[in-house]
Amino acid sequence: MVYHLKEWVQGTHRVRRSTSDAKGGTMRLGAYAAQLAEGSLAARIYGATTIEERHRHRYEVDIRYREQLEAAGLRFSGMSPDGRLPEIVEVAGHPWFIGVQFHPELKSKPFAPHPLFADFVRAALEISRLV
């Protein structure tokens, strides 16, 4: 379900790499846009349906498994603008489960935490009061 990244859009052009290529330059590196699903936890946290986050990786979730994963309860709530690369997943019915392909820590500061970190702490405090 996870594969070596072979193709992505960088700026206005498409980048293609083979798994047999030397690994240098095969990373998806830098800021990329994502479209968030209306009504998703991610859209609520960001307060928007279009975001831009920083990446540094060479592996992606294989979108060919999307139907199976969604049938098992995983929601693809954030996708690249072309709809080919998953950016955010959520688990339906879970109090707070978000998995991201990007690195939110790269945009977080001690007194200005990334929205995902701030909302995770908020949810943890809320749940702890219910126990």
CATH code, domain with 26: 3.40.50.880
The total domain count for the chain is: 1
The pTM (predicted TM-score) of the whole model is 0.81
Query: What pLDDT score was predicted for residue 11?
Result: 64
- Relative to beta strand 28-36, strand 50-57 is antiparallel
Calpha distance 69→122 (Å, rounded): 27
Please write the tens of the pLDDT for every residue from 44-88. 999 999 999 999 887 888 899 999 999 999 999 999 999 999 999
pLDDT class of 3 with cuts at 50, 70, 90: low
- pLDDT at position 62: 86
- Residue 96 included in any domain: yes
- Is 98 exposed, middle or buried, given 0-12, 13-18 or 19+ CB atoms closer than 10 A? buried
